Structure 1
Amino acid sequence: MNLLAALIFVLIQVNVLAQTNGEATLSGFVYDGGSGEELIGANVFFIDPGIGTASNEYGFYSITAPKGKYKVRFSFVGYKSVEKEIDLTTSEKIDVALNYESLELDQVVVEAEKSDENIKSTIMGSIELSPKEIEFVPVILGEKDILKTMQLLPGISQAGDGNSGYFVRGGNIDQNLILLDEATVYNPSHLFGFFSVFNSDAIKNAKMIKGSMPPEYGGRISSVLDIKMKEGNNQSWGFSGGIGLISSRLTIEAPIVKDKGSFLISGRRTYADLFLKLSSDEKLKDTELYFFDLNLKANYKLGESDRMYLSGYLGRDVLGFSDRFGFDWGNYTGTFRWNHLFNEKLFSNTSLIISDYDYSIEVDNESVMMKITSGISDINFKSDFQYFLNTNNTIRFGVIGYHHTFVPGELSSEGGSLNSKEVEKKYGIELGAYASHKYNLSQRLTLNYGLRYSHYLNMGPGNTYRYDQLGNPIDTTTYSSGDIINQYGGLEPRISSTYLLNDVSSMKLSYARNYQYIHLLSTSTTSTPIDVWLPTTDVVKPELSDQVALGYFRNFDDNNWETSVEVYYKYMQNQVDYVNGADIFLNEFIESQLTFGKGWSYGVELL
C-alpha cells in the first residue's frame, strides 16, 4: 500500500509539472440530462486540432491540450450533441448533460460507444449491449434476457437447449467470469437454466469480452461478462413495469436529493404457483414453484470529487411439493463503491464487495427428514486507478483481493439409514495487482499493453490427503486456522494493438495469459444448481490459458454497418475432468475423482 501511495503522489506531481509547461486539462462527467445517469463511452472532441477522448465506465472524461481557446463537441449516439466554447488557459472541470434525440426515436438505438469505436478500440472479441438493443431480440416466452442475447454471438454457444449457461471459444462454463456491479455471480440461471438472473429493467449496459481481457480483469480463462446496474433517476420519480406470460416486474427510481443522489428498486417474480392455488387438489395447492429477483441501488454525490454507491442483488428459485420436498437456490451480492477525483487527471474507484451462492434440498416423508446444503461465498476488496496523462497516453493500475469460503456440502439426516455428514469447508485468498498503458503511437497505430500478477493461497483450517494410484487416501496432513497449506502465482501479460488501414477499417492483434484458481465440478453437460465449487489445492492445480487472436474490422454506410473477421488460437493447461464412475456428491476425497489434462481450441468468427 505504501508503494501505491507513492505512485499516486508521483502522478499528482507529474500533473502539476505538465500545467507549468503550457498544457491544461479539461475534465468532468457526461450524463443523461433526463435521468442523471452517467454515460459510458460519450465522445469528447476538440474540433480543432481534432483530438478527442471518451468517458470511462463511470462517465468521467479527461483530455489534455495546449493552453488556448477551443470549440469542444460532446456527443453520444442517440443524444443531441452539445458544443461549447472553452477558454482553456487553466485546467477546467465541466460536467455536461446530454438529452435524448426524441425526433429520431424510430431510427436511433442508444449504444454505449462511439460509432467507430469497434474500428479504433484495441479490445478484440468484445461487444457491448444496452437494454435498448436487447428489446428487439426474441427470447423464450417473451422474456428479455441478456445471456440469451449473448449466446447469439459468434464464439459463444449454449450449454444446452434453452440453457443460460454458455461456452466461449472452447472453454467450460466455469471459465466465464460474470460480474454484476463488480460482484461475482456464481450461478446466473433461474429455472434450471431457462432464464437468467438479470432483470433487463435494472441493467444499464453489458460488455462481453471473449478475446484479450484487459489486465483489470482476472480469475477466469475464457471470458468476462461485465454488467452494470442503473443508478436511478436523480431528477424525478419514475415508474415502469410489465406483466408477461411468465413473470411480472416493477421498477421504481427517484432522487434522494435532486442532482446529488438517487435510488432504484427493481423487482421481478414469476407466478405459476399462484395459479396452482386455484386447483381442487389439496397437494397442488401447497406446491411452490417460482423465482424472484430484487435489484437495489443508491448513490450520493458528497462533493465535486467524491461519490458513493451502494448496490445489491437478491435472487432465488423455490421449488416445493407440499411439506414433503423443498429445493431452493440463489445468489445475493452487495457492492459499496467510492469514486474519487484526486485531480483532473487521476480518477479512482474503490469497492468493497460481497457475493454468495447456495442451495438447499429438504426431504420430509414423515419417517425420514433430510437436508442437503452447499455453496460458495466471497468478500472482495478492489481499488482501481485511471490516469489520463495526455491524449496519447492513459495509464491504469490497481489491486484486488478475494477471501473465498467453499462449502462443498453438508447432509443433515434424522431417521432412515442415512447418517449426517459434512464435507469440511475450504478457504482461500486470491490476490492480484495490475498495470496497463494505452499508447497512441501515431494516428494509425495504438498499443494497449499491461501486466497482471495473481497469487492464490490455500488456507487452513483443513486437511490435505495423499492418494495411491487407485485414488485411495494413504496419508493425511492437518492444518490449523491461518496456516498456508499451499500457494500458487504467476504473471499474466496482456497486449493488444490496432492499426487503422483507413477511416473505415483496421487490423487488430492480441495476446493474453490468464490464471484460474477456482473450479466448478458438475457431472452434467449443463450448469445445475447442485454443482460444486472447488479451490485450487496441492492436487488441483490452477488452470492456465494462452490466447492469441488476429482480426480485420470494417464498417460500411457511415458506420451504420459493422463487420469483423477474427481468427484465434487458445492453449489451455491443467484442465479438470473426471475419472470413470466419478462420485463428486458429498465426497470428502473429491480430488481422487479428478483427472487433469491439456486442451486446444481454435476457430474463425464472422460478425
Structure 2
Amino acid sequence: MRFLYRLVLVIGCLILSLSSFAQQDIFLKGAVYEFDSEEPLPGANIYWESDPQKGVVSDVDGNFTISVTDLPAKIVVSFIGFTETIRLIQEKDIAKDVKFYLRPEELSLEEIIIQERRPDQNVKSLDMGKSVVPIQTIKNIPALFGEVDLLRSLQLLPGVQTAGEGTTGLFVRGGSADQNLVQIDGAPIYNPSHFFGFFSVFNPDALEGVEFYKGNIPATLGGRLSSVIDVSLKEGNYQKVRGEGGIGTISSRLTVDGPLFSDKSSFVLSGRRTYADVFLRLSPNENINNNSLYFYDLSGKFTFKIGDRDKLSFSSYYGSDYLGLSAQFGFGWDNWVSSATWNRNINERTFFDLNTYHSRYTYRLNFVDEDNGFDWDNVLSETGTRAEWTFLPNERTQLNWGFHTQLYHFAPINLEPAAGSAIEPILTNQRNGWQNNVFIAGSTDVTPDFRIEAGLRWGIYHRVGKGVQYQYSDEQPSPESAILDTLRFSGLENMKFYQGLEPRISMRYLIQEDLSIKAAYNRTFQYIQVATNNSAGLPLDRWVPADAFIPPIRADQVSIGVFKNLYQDSWEISAETYYKDFRNLVDLRQGASVILTDNVETELLTGNGYAYGAEFLVRKNVGKTTGWLSYTYSRTWRRIEGISDDRWYNPRFDRPHDLTLVLNHEFNKRWSAGMTFIYTTGQAVTFPVGSYEVDNQRLPLYGNQRNADRFPDYHRMDASVTWKNSDKGRKWRGSWNLSIYNLYGRKNPFAYQFTDIINDEINFDPSTGQEIMSRRPGVVMTYLFTFLPALTYNFQF
C-alpha cells in the first residue's frame, strides 16, 4: 500500500504541474487529408514557416495540435509524394479546427505509401508491448482457405501463443483466452470467432485499424488481465461512393461506403457469407445434402459531423453461425454489438469522448430424438458507458481522465426436454454484475530524452441480484458439500463487493535518436472469467462473474525493453522481457462439469501462477521486401491446491519456443508474393498412464499430474501470390490471390484418441458382423489440414 500511496501522490503532483502550464500556450488544432479520397494522412509534417524546427506530425487519424506563435503567421503542411501547402493563420482560426487537403504530386513516379504511424514511433513513443497492425499488412498474409483473418494475423506477433491448428484463440504472455478484451468501436465481443474458432468475426474490408496491447495497457483501458485488442470500423468517404470485396473459396464479401446526406455525413455497410451449405445441397447423398453449415456477418457505421467541434458515429455488428445435421441436430450462436460515440473538441487544448454500447451473445442447441430430444439456449450481455477527457496543456504533456460503468447479465441456462424425452429439465439462476471504474493518467517529458507516463485505475465491482447464493457446509465448496441454505436477492441488490486499485507506470529514455530503453509496470483486475476444461475456446464456454466463492483474478506485470532503428528507420529491432504474477486463478477439478450446473463454484479451485519470457523482433518496414522475424521464449506455471498433487504445473498453452517469419515481396506493380513460417513447441497435454475395462470396453486411465506430456512440435509454412490488373484510368480494379496453407503438407496433430485397434483397422465397424481377429490398445492421431490451396478474386470500385 505504500507504493500505491506514493503513486497517487506522484499522479497528484503531475496534475498540479500540468495545471500550472495550462495558461502558458495557445494551440491550433487541425487535420490533414488526401484531396481526392479524403482519407487522413498520418505522419504529415506541420510547422510554422518562421520556425521550421518546432513542428509536429499528424496522428493515425490525420489530426494534429501545434502551439501558436505570434499571429498572423504562415503554417506549412507537407507529406512525401504530395504538394506542399502553405496557409496564413489568423486569430479567428484558433477557435475552430483547420483542415488541409493535399494533392498528389503530378510528377511523382514512385508509389505513395501512407503509413499508419511515424517511422520512429517504436523508439520515441512510450508504447511498450503494443502493436499497431495495418489492415493492408493483414490482407497480405497468406490465409486459411484464402480467408484473411485479423486474430490469426495477431498470432504471428511475439508473445502470442495459439491453442493449436485451426483456432483463432490467443494466449498472451501466459494468460488464457478469456483474459483478452476484444472490442469493436468500444463494444466487447464475447465470442470473436466463426466456424468453431477457425475464423474471426472481423471482415478486414470494414476495418479502419487495430491496436493490440499486451504489455503497457494504459489506465484508460481495463477489465482483462492479458491484452486489449481494440478494433475500429472505418468511416465512410464523404465525397463519393466506393466499394470493395472478394469472391473466395468458401465465402464472399462486399463493403460499400460513401456520403450519406451531404459531405458532412457518411456510411459504411459491409457483409460476408460462406456458402459451404450451398455445396452440401449439390451432393446426391441424402446424409450430406440435408446438412447446413454456414456463417455470415453484417456491419454498418454512420458518421455525422456537427459543426467544427462535434462528431457523432453509430456502429453495429451482427454475426451468426449455424451447424445443422439432417434436421436432427442444430447448433448456432450469434454476436450482436452496437455502439454510439460522441467526439467533441471543447477547445484547442481539451477534448471529450463519450461511448455507450450494448453487446449480446446467444447460443442455442437442439437435438431431435424421441427418447433424448431437447432444446438448450443461453444469453449473456454487457451494457456500458465510457467517458474520457483529454487535456493538452503543451506539446510535451498530456492528461486523460474519465469513468467507465459496466453492467453484466448472464441469463439462466435453460434446457427443455422435448415431449416424451427421458432427459430432465435444467434451469439455472441468472448471475449479474455491476462494475464502475474511474481512471486518470498523465504523461510528460521530464527532460528531452526522458518521458514518463503514470496512471491509476480504480475498479469497484458488485455482484448484484436478481439471483441466489448458496450456503455450503464447507468453507470451500466441493461436489460433496451439503447446501445448508439458499439466500435470494432482489434486482440490483448487493450480493458481494470487491474493489481494486490498478496502478500503471511506464518510462522511456532516449539513449540516441534511434535507440531507447523502456520499462513498464501494470496491475490489472478481471471480475468475469470463463470456467472451462478446454483451451481452444468453444461457443458453449461458461462465463462466471466474481461472487462470494469466486474472487476476481489479479495480475502484476513488469517489463523492460530495448528498441533500435537502423538505416533511416527502415529497419526495427527490439528485445522485451517480462515477468507476470497471477493471483486467484481458477481451474477445474479433475472430471469437473460446469456447463449445466447451477453450483459452478463447487467445480472450481483457486490458486496462483506466474509467467515470464523474452521476445525478440526484427522488422523491415520499407522497400520491395517487407516483413518481420520474431522469436519468443516463455514459460507459464500454476499451482492450485487439489490439482496435480498441489505441485506447479503448466496450462495447455505453455509453449516455451515460438518462432515466426513473415515476408512480403513486390516484384512490380502487378505481381507480389507472401510467405509465413511458424515453429512452436507442442502444447502441454495429459496422456493416460494406463487403461481399465468397463463392460468389455477399454477406457484410458489418467494420473494425478496435469499437462505433464506434450504434443510434437508444431511447424507450418504458408505462401501466396497476388496478381493485380492494370488499374490506370479504371474505376474497377481487380486482383487474383492464390494462397497455399501448409505448403509442405505437415501433419500437425489436432487431437489424440486412446482406443482399441481391432483387426489392425482404425475405423473398425462392429455392425458389419466381421469377426474380431485381434484387439490391441492404440493411439489414433487426428490432423486437420495438409496441403490446402485457395483462390480469391478481390475487387475495388
Deviations 1:442-465 (A, max 9, x none): 221111111111111110111112
What is the CA–CA distance in structure 1 between the aligned matches of 2:370 and 2:107, rounded to whole Å?
Answer: 66
Q: Does 1:120 align with 2:130?
A: no
The one of 319, 323, 333 equivalent to 1:319 is 323
Q: Does 1:205 align with 2:215?
A: no
The one of 551, 554, 563 equivalent to 1:541 is 551
Whether the 8 Å contact between 2:370 and 2:421 is mirrored in structure 1 is no
User: Residue 480 of structure 1 aligns to which amino acid in structure 2?
Assistant: S
What is the CA–CA distance in structure 1 between the aligned matches of 2:172 and 2:106, rounded to whole Å?
Answer: 38
Question: What is the CA distance between 1:474 and its match in structure 2?
Answer: 3.0
Question: 2:268 is matched with which residue?
Answer: 264
Question: What is the CA distance between 1:50 and its match in structure 2?
Answer: 2.8
Question: 1:420 is matched with which residue?
Answer: 425
Question: What is the CA distance between 1:352 and its match in structure 2?
Answer: 1.3
Q: Does 1:130 align with 2:126?
A: no
Q: Taking structure 1 as reference, are residues 295 and 17 closer, same or farther at Cα in structure 2, changes over 3 Å only?
A: closer
Question: What is the CA distance between 1:70 and its match in structure 2?
Answer: 5.7
Question: 2:37 is matched with which residue?
Answer: 35
Question: What is the CA distance between 1:151 and its match in structure 2?
Answer: 0.3
Structure 1 vs Structure 2 CA RMSD: 2.6
What is the CA–CA distance in structure 2 between the aligned matches of 1:46 and 1:560, rounded to whole Å?
Answer: 28
User: Residue 551 of structure 2 aligns to which amino acid in structure 1?
Assistant: K
Whether the 8 Å contact between 1:250 and 1:266 is mirrored in structure 2 is yes
Counterparts of residues 395-410 of structure 1 (less than 5 Å): 395-407=399-411, 409-410=413-414
Query: What is the TM-score normalised by the length of structure 1?
Result: 0.92
User: Residue 277 of structure 1 aligns to which amino acid in structure 2?
Assistant: R
SS at match of 1:394: strand
SS at match of 2:355: strand
Question: What is the CA distance between 1:102 and its match in structure 2?
Answer: 9.4
Whether the 8 Å contact between 1:67 and 1:88 is mirrored in structure 2 is no
Q: Taking structure 1 as reference, are residues 102 and 286 closer, same or farther at Cα in structure 2, changes over 3 Å only?
A: farther
Counterparts of residues 482-561 of structure 1 (less than 5 Å): 482-561=492-571
Deviations 1:565-585 (A, max 9, x none): 001111111111111111102
Question: 1:6 is matched with which residue?
Answer: none
Whether the 8 Å contact between 1:362 and 1:372 is mirrored in structure 2 is yes
Q: Taking structure 1 as reference, are residues 117 and 98 closer, same or farther at Cα in structure 2, changes over 3 Å only?
A: farther
Question: 2:457 is matched with which residue?
Answer: 452
What is the CA–CA distance in structure 1 between the aligned matches of 2:105 and 2:245, rounded to whole Å?
Answer: 23
Q: Does 1:25 align with 2:27?
A: yes
User: Residue 528 of structure 2 aligns to which amino acid in structure 1?
Assistant: I
Whether the 8 Å contact between 2:316 and 2:337 is mirrored in structure 1 is yes
Question: What is the CA distance between 1:82 and its match in structure 2?
Answer: 4.1
Question: What is the CA distance between 1:376 and its match in structure 2?
Answer: 1.5
Whether the 8 Å contact between 1:396 and 1:435 is mirrored in structure 2 is yes
User: Residue 210 of structure 2 aligns to which amino acid in structure 1?
Assistant: A
Which structure has the larger Rg?
2
User: Residue 459 of structure 1 aligns to which amino acid in structure 2?
Assistant: V
SS at match of 1:135: helix
Question: What is the CA distance between 1:408 and its match in structure 2?
Answer: 5.3
Q: Taking structure 1 as reference, are residues 592 and 75 closer, same or farther at Cα in structure 2, changes over 3 Å only?
A: farther
Q: Does 1:441 align with 2:462?
A: no
User: Residue 528 of structure 1 aligns to which amino acid in structure 2?
Assistant: L
What is the CA–CA distance in structure 1 between the aligned matches of 2:338 and 2:361, rounded to whole Å?
Answer: 12
Question: 1:63 is matched with which residue?
Answer: 66
SS at match of 1:451: strand
What is the CA–CA distance in structure 2 between the aligned matches of 1:155 and 1:100, rounded to whole Å?
Answer: 39
Q: Taking structure 1 as reference, are residues 31 and 159 closer, same or farther at Cα in structure 2, changes over 3 Å only?
A: farther
- Aligned pairs, number: 594
Which ranges in structure 1 are unaligned for 5 or more consecutive residues?
A: 1-9
SS at match of 2:279: helix
Counterparts of residues 189-588 of structure 1 (less than 5 Å): 189-366=193-370, 368-407=372-411, 409-414=413-418, 415-467=420-472, 468=474, 470-471=478-479, 472=481, 473-588=483-598
Deviations 1:525-570 (A, max 9, x none): 2111110111010111111111111110001111111110001111
Question: What is the CA distance between 1:303 and its match in structure 2?
Answer: 1.1
Whether the 8 Å contact between 2:83 and 2:104 is mirrored in structure 1 is no
Question: 1:51 is matched with which residue?
Answer: 54
Question: 1:80 is matched with which residue?
Answer: 82
Question: What is the CA distance between 1:61 and its match in structure 2?
Answer: 2.9
Whether the 8 Å contact between 2:588 and 2:603 is mirrored in structure 1 is yes
Q: Taking structure 1 as reference, are residues 149 and 102 closer, same or farther at Cα in structure 2, changes over 3 Å only?
A: farther
Whether the 8 Å contact between 2:374 and 2:421 is mirrored in structure 1 is no
Question: What is the CA distance between 1:37 and its match in structure 2?
Answer: 4.3
> What fraction of aligned residue pairs are identical, expressed as a percent?
36
What is the CA–CA distance in structure 1 between the aligned matches of 2:189 and 2:354, rounded to whole Å?
Answer: 19
Question: 2:189 is matched with which residue?
Answer: 185
SS at match of 1:274: helix
Q: Taking structure 1 as reference, are residues 170 and 108 closer, same or farther at Cα in structure 2, changes over 3 Å only?
A: farther
Question: What is the CA distance between 1:34 and its match in structure 2?
Answer: 3.5
Q: Taking structure 1 as reference, are residues 450 and 42 closer, same or farther at Cα in structure 2, changes over 3 Å only?
A: farther
SS at match of 1:257: coil
What is the CA–CA distance in structure 2 between the aligned matches of 1:564 and 1:82, rounded to whole Å?
Answer: 34
Question: What is the CA distance between 1:108 and its match in structure 2?
Answer: 5.6
Q: Taking structure 1 as reference, are residues 55 and 366 closer, same or farther at Cα in structure 2, changes over 3 Å only?
A: farther
Whether the 8 Å contact between 1:408 and 1:586 is mirrored in structure 2 is no
SS at match of 2:140: coil
Q: Taking structure 1 as reference, are residues 49 and 68 closer, same or farther at Cα in structure 2, changes over 3 Å only?
A: farther
Question: What is the CA distance between 1:100 and its match in structure 2?
Answer: 6.6
What is the CA–CA distance in structure 2 between the aligned matches of 1:233 and 1:570, rounded to whole Å?
Answer: 43
Question: What is the CA distance between 1:392 and its match in structure 2?
Answer: 1.3
SS at match of 1:528: coil
Counterparts of residues 86-165 of structure 1 (less than 5 Å): 86-87=88-89, 91=94, 93-98=97-102, 109-165=113-169
Question: 2:696 is matched with which residue?
Answer: none
What is the CA–CA distance in structure 1 between the aligned matches of 2:108 and 2:167, rounded to whole Å?
Answer: 36
What is the CA–CA distance in structure 1 between the aligned matches of 2:604 and 2:45, rounded to whole Å?
Answer: 50
What is the CA–CA distance in structure 1 between the aligned matches of 2:460 and 2:84, rounded to whole Å?
Answer: 46
Q: Taking structure 1 as reference, are residues 101 and 478 closer, same or farther at Cα in structure 2, changes over 3 Å only?
A: farther
Whether the 8 Å contact between 1:65 and 1:390 is mirrored in structure 2 is no
What is the CA–CA distance in structure 1 between the aligned matches of 2:43 and 2:365, rounded to whole Å?
Answer: 45
Q: Does 1:604 align with 2:609?
A: no
What is the CA–CA distance in structure 2 between the aligned matches of 1:521 and 1:293, rounded to whole Å?
Answer: 27
Whether the 8 Å contact between 1:43 and 1:114 is mirrored in structure 2 is no
Whether the 8 Å contact between 1:408 and 1:532 is mirrored in structure 2 is no
Q: Taking structure 1 as reference, are residues 301 and 182 closer, same or farther at Cα in structure 2, changes over 3 Å only?
A: same
User: Residue 567 of structure 2 aligns to which amino acid in structure 1?
Assistant: D
Question: What is the CA distance between 1:33 and its match in structure 2?
Answer: 3.4
User: Residue 384 of structure 1 aligns to which amino acid in structure 2?
Assistant: E
Which ranges in structure 2 are unaligned for 5 or more consecutive residues?
A: 1-14, 618-797
Question: What is the CA distance between 1:601 and its match in structure 2?
Answer: 0.6
User: Residue 65 of structure 2 aligns to which amino acid in structure 1?
Assistant: S
Q: Taking structure 1 as reference, are residues 306 and 582 closer, same or farther at Cα in structure 2, changes over 3 Å only?
A: same
What is the CA–CA distance in structure 1 between the aligned matches of 2:114 and 2:578, rounded to whole Å?
Answer: 30
Task: Single out whichever of 289-298 and 253-262 deviates more from structure 2.
Answer: 253-262
SS at match of 1:304: coil
Whether the 8 Å contact between 1:37 and 1:232 is mirrored in structure 2 is no
